[in-house]
Structure 1
Amino acid sequence: MTRTDDISIKLETKMPGRKDSFIVLLGRFILLYWKTIILILWPIVLLPLVIINNEEMYKCLYVVTLMAMFWVTEVLPLPITGLIPIVLYPLMGILSTAKTADCYMNDTTMMFIGSLVIAVVIESSGLHMRVALLIIKLIGCSHRNLSLGLFSVTMFISMWISNTAATAMMIPIVDTVLLELETQGLGDRFIFDESSTEGEEEQGVERQKKPTHTTMVYYLSASYASSIGGIGTLVGTGTNLTFKGIYEERFPNSPGINFASWMLYTVPAMIVMGILTWLWLQIMYMGLFRPNSNDAKAIDIGKHGEKVAASVIDKKYKELGPVKWSEWIVGTLFITVVLLWFFRKPGFVKGWPSYITDLPVKDSTAAIGLTILLFIIPSRPDFLNAFNSDPDKRPTKSSPALITWKMIHEKMHWSLLFVLGGGFAIATGSSSSGLSKMLGNSLSGLKDYNAFTILVLVCLFAECVTELTANVAVANIILPVLAEMSRAVHLHPLYLMLPAAMCCSFSFHLPVGTPPNAIASAAGHIRTNDFIIAGIGPTIITLIVTVFSWNTWGVYVFDLYEYPSWAEPLNTTLTSSL
């Protein structure tokens, strides 16, 4: 029996004739039903917003505040909260049902669907695993090199598939390598927690195991690298696409966000963040620059240890077999769609759509075009033997396509579409109802503050809040506000919105902060206090790199030197230097 079980039994045991006080009963009731209490009371608490003033902007504020609380506390699943505007907007006279529903299926959501399909087919083909193992083999198999290879591979793969999938893919590789090294007597994966008392052991209380510092580096690397790598491309994580959708919805006359300019800024920043975060883990837990420390001695596995680790990686690679037809085709199509995204509107040359049509073409066209091809191209080249002279080699049935609807149904994260749609609905409703203008007027006093100071505070706020709730939910709440703040202080909207969107991905302190953290915590038995300490470095690194890289390289890439006329809601042209 564990200590928790023992405490629970004591709490539930009642002394004869003893009655719990009302305060105790009320406390238990609140702990059990706090979600239901918020669901019932919060809409009532907000009613004065619409009772005192019946204007559309206050009705919209009611819906936005309601959704913000539900998203932060997660009293309802995030996707279900995202659907609230479809019910309340028409009934409260903010937007019609048709206009509200349009927010849930636009260029950004179509691109998101296409990116999810690409991620699913890459995972199904095994291409990501082959690339990962090849890179790790090239970098080397000492503990330091192996952790660098793991970090680099996870960061790269997370640029193209979900952060959760990237982390989940790397954890089995880590487990296998560390287990084999432990079997060979080259280091322990876990140690027992010495904080348990002798009395507890005598009572049969199981001692908790905790990871060694070396083990922590591997699991934390998988988690942190996936979060950092997610900022590298527009399709890397949901917060990037949330930002793109809200920005283009709020500023329809802006040039928009294209794949090339995003990568041109984020990839250098991502690499710097990744290197510094890896160095932080090495210094903290692997004795870098401390050659005589216990941590440094623990990772010295010698040539024999490196051979053991290399043999594990080599064995896993051989298990994949020779490169399959599906891997070649998926790899070729993947490179093709990335090039189409990058060269749609690269800036330094004419984009490829301009040679085909005068109509505007967005990135979702290439994403959905690839998706259709994946349903057409067969996963095996059996058709090449259809006329073979040897009857045994002729196919007896047609090969399935590279991707099937069953695969999509089982592996696609459809729910995030409703979270994205809810954010876009907030942006549209705020603009239509006049809430945006009201917020802009109320924030006009911020003009007296330095732009750099505002940026630091916004990024710090985003990184802190995203530790407590879902990244996409945080982005949906703060980005519309930042859009109006930009108008109020006459800053280019991108100046605050894009770095804030990036910072929404940087959750490093809590296991529940983001799915990669939860996966690493469960697999590596990493305690919350260890996560809190380890996350100090990445939080400071990502904040500093984001702020300073944005104020230098980012301002240059996106040409943020002047306040654009298209940012104004009215037909006024205002320019203001950053």
Structure 2
Amino acid sequence: MSEEPATRRATTGQWVGRFAGPLAAALIYGVPSGLHTLPGLDHRPAAAAAVAAWMALWWFTEAVPMAWTAVLPVVLFPLLGVFDTDSVAVAAGRSVLPFLDPYIFLFMGGMALGAGMEQWGLHRRIALLIMRAVGTGPQRLLFGMLAATAAVSLWISNTATAVMMVPIGMALLTQLRASEGRPLEHFGAALMLAVAYGSNIGGIGTKIGSPTNSVFAGVVSRRLGTDVGFVEYMVAALPFVILFLPVTWAVLWRWARKDRMGPGQGGDVIARELAQLGPMSRGERTVGVVFLVAAVLWIFGDPLRALLAPGVARAFDGFKLGGKHYEAAVALVGAVTLLVLGRLSVAALRRVPWDTLLLLGGGFALAAGIEASGLASWMTSRLSGLESLPGLVQYGTVASATILLSAIASNTATTNVMLNVLPASRSLLAVSTFAASCDFALPAGTPPNAIVFGSGVVRLPVMMRTGVLLDVLAALLLTVYGVTWVRWVLP
């Protein structure tokens, strides 16, 4: 869900949220004072729950910019005594520390590398080459758009991917309409929905593909004390992307084929777009090499980190080089290399959504407060019945609830809330993270949905009709996928 511009008048829902957040926090904070009674909930867990409710309501209603909501723990945790210390300064430090989590720097470096690809048009060339390789018949063109969008979204933000691919989709649709001599309402809607859905699905596949994935890695590190490596995450997530893309294509093609198109002229548009890009520039080649080196270093991170760890420990007084530190360092070194070589401009960096980093930090700070206050243990004891249910019921409940919540709130806000209330199981948390990117029915579900809907090609009833079916299929596939694969890969 995109944020409201500061100059736009607040909606009724936003005004309601602005008052509902503090009110809910006050009511929850009053629970241990005798206003209400909940067994086992004393002052510190209630304080953390109050802040969590305030943040959730402001995130879900977009009452204020989401990054502003993210800094609430910095102010409220020390004031309400969430941490087990009498020193306000120490509590403030513990509230700020999550904003310096290595996973935030990993995502920062990843966004900078993505900005370099955008600056030189490398991501556009990759997408067009994939589409040309897949083929230009109507069925192949639709799958090519879906697959190319997902492939790019693995490595740069899903929002940036959608912004890039919409003009390509519109150019293809204009050419096809001219060659067919009719509006192609069904195929056009399917083609543009392929941009939105490909952006969402592809972003699931790598740790830098979407902010939700960094939230997952950070929550697992804090709640369970274990790191999820770059390759380990891909092994858990990428097969779902590969499995669900054909499912998505089949659903879209059911709608697109109603136009009964001929062979079409999509290949001409792709060839023209590639011709306009010209041969690869030196900047493209440099960015491509740096990104490829970073990807190789991430993929072979475990053995390389084992080689580096002793030297780092000697140089930095016994510092233990964790997986998240290594991955963040690779991302930042790659970004700095592009800056030093002049292949990443300040203008390109300004287009990066830096407020996302605050959003991530706020989620990590919320998780730290929930854990330190004892609220996590309290919630886990209340949700212990979920782990006693059959596996299919567990994963089905988590996937369905997350997709439903993501339909009315941003996927990052949904993940920040869900991962802090679910039982501390890596596989359950992973399935919830994947599901947060799987609302396809409403424009508000994810930024790519909103961007594509704004093109004017897709009518809301069409998005809802297609998206609800995909939501159900995603929940079903994630249920089986979680029980059979994720639970084995991330025990």
Partner of 2:315: none
CA distance in 2, matches of 1:45, 1:108: 31
Q: Which runs of 4+ in 1 moved over 6 A?
A: none
State which of 183, 187, 198 in structure 2 corresponds to 1:189. Answer: 183
Partner of 1:278: 249
Partner of 1:323: 280
CA distance in 2, matches of 1:337, 1:494: 26
Distance 1:177 1:39, change over 3 A: closer
Q: Which amino acid aligns with 1:375?
A: L
Partner of 1:353: 305
Cα drift, residue 296 of structure 1? 5.5
CA distance in 1, matches of 2:466, 2:393: 27
CA distance in 1, matches of 2:99, 2:183: 46
Distance 1:434 1:321, change over 3 A: same
Partner of 1:258: 229
Distance 1:133 1:44, change over 3 A: closer
The answer as to 2:46 corresponding to 1:105 is no
State which of 19, 26, 29 in structure 2 corresponds to 1:50. Answer: 29
Distance 1:366 1:182, change over 3 A: same
TM-score, structure 2 normalization: 0.89
- The total of aligned residue pairs comes to 454
The answer as to 2:169 corresponding to 1:177 is no
Distance 1:554 1:46, change over 3 A: closer
Counterpart contact for 1:216–1:524, Cα < 8 Å: no
Counterpart contact for 1:277–1:537, Cα < 8 Å: no
Distance 1:179 1:86, change over 3 A: same
TM-score, structure 1 normalization: 0.76
Q: How does 1:58-137 map to 2 (within 5 A)?
A: 58-95=46-83, 96-137=91-132
**5+ residue gaps, structure 2:** 1-9, 34-42, 84-90, 311-319
State which of 264, 268, 276 in structure 2 corresponds to 1:311. Answer: 268
Partner of 1:5: none
Q: Which has the higher helix share?
A: 2
State which of 529, 535, 540 in structure 1 corresponds to 2:467. Answer: 535
Q: Which amino acid aligns with 1:416?
A: T
The answer as to 2:334 corresponding to 1:370 is yes
Q: Secondary structure at the match of 2:440?
A: coil
Partner of 1:225: 198
Q: Report Cα offsets for 1:129-182 as digits up to 9, x if no partner.
A: 111111222222111111111111001000001111111211111211221232
**5+ residue gaps, structure 1:** 1-30, 191-211, 287-294, 346-350, 378-400, 487-492, 561-578
The answer as to 2:18 corresponding to 1:35 is no
Q: Percent identity?
A: 27
Partner of 2:317: none
State which of 514, 517, 523 in structure 1 corresponds to 2:446. Answer: 514
Partner of 2:343: 402
Cα drift, residue 189 of structure 1? 3.2
CA distance in 1, matches of 2:117, 2:439: 26
Distance 1:48 1:468, change over 3 A: closer
Distance 1:92 1:136, change over 3 A: same
Counterpart contact for 1:474–1:504, Cα < 8 Å: yes
Q: How does 1:353-502 map to 2 (within 5 A)?
A: 353-358=305-310, 359-361=320-322, 362-377=326-341, 401-409=342-350, 411-482=351-422, 485-486=423-424, 493-502=425-434
Q: Secondary structure at the match of 1:317?
A: helix
Distance 1:527 1:189, change over 3 A: same
Partner of 1:10: none
Counterpart contact for 2:187–2:259, Cα < 8 Å: no
The answer as to 2:325 corresponding to 1:337 is no
Partner of 1:139: 134
Cα drift, residue 86 of structure 1? 0.8
Q: How does 1:297-308 map to 2 (within 5 A)?
A: 297=260, 299-300=261-262, 302=263, 305=264, 308=265
CA distance in 1, matches of 2:17, 2:157: 31
Q: Which amino acid aligns with 2:485?
A: W
CA distance in 1, matches of 2:160, 2:278: 22
Cα drift, residue 68 of structure 1? 1.0
Q: Report Cα offsets for 1:26-69 as digits up to 9, x if no partner.
A: xxxxx965533442354234424333425111111111111111
Q: Secondary structure at the match of 1:535?
A: helix
Q: Report Cα offsets for 1:258-277 as digits up to 9, x if no partner.
A: 11111122222211100111
Distance 1:187 1:37, change over 3 A: same
Cα drift, residue 549 of structure 1? 2.0
Partner of 2:143: 148
CA distance in 2, matches of 1:268, 1:89: 39
CA distance in 2, matches of 1:550, 1:425: 28
Cα drift, residue 112 of structure 1? 0.8
Cα drift, residue 528 of structure 1? 1.7
Partner of 2:207: 234
Cα drift, residue 446 of structure 1? 3.8
Partner of 2:153: 158
CA distance in 2, matches of 1:151, 1:526: 16
Distance 1:37 1:543, change over 3 A: closer
CA distance in 1, matches of 2:393, 2:120: 47
Q: Secondary structure at the match of 2:100?
A: coil
Q: Report Cα offsets for 1:264-307 as digits up to 9, x if no partner.
A: 22222211100111011112331xxxxxxxx262x12x4xx3xx
Partner of 1:572: none
CA distance in 2, matches of 1:371, 1:454: 40
CA distance in 2, matches of 1:370, 1:133: 25
CA RMSD of aligned residues (A): 1.8
Distance 1:52 1:314, change over 3 A: closer
CA distance in 1, matches of 2:75, 2:416: 18
Distance 1:445 1:232, change over 3 A: closer
CA distance in 1, matches of 2:11, 2:272: 50
Q: Secondary structure at the match of 2:309?
A: coil
Q: Which amino acid aligns with 2:255?
A: M
Q: Report Cα offsets for 1:397-451 as digits up to 9, x if no partner.
A: xxxx011233212x11111111111111111111111111221222234454223
Q: Which amino acid aligns with 1:412?
A: V
CA distance in 1, matches of 2:58, 2:250: 38
Counterpart contact for 2:216–2:419, Cα < 8 Å: yes
CA distance in 1, matches of 2:397, 2:384: 17
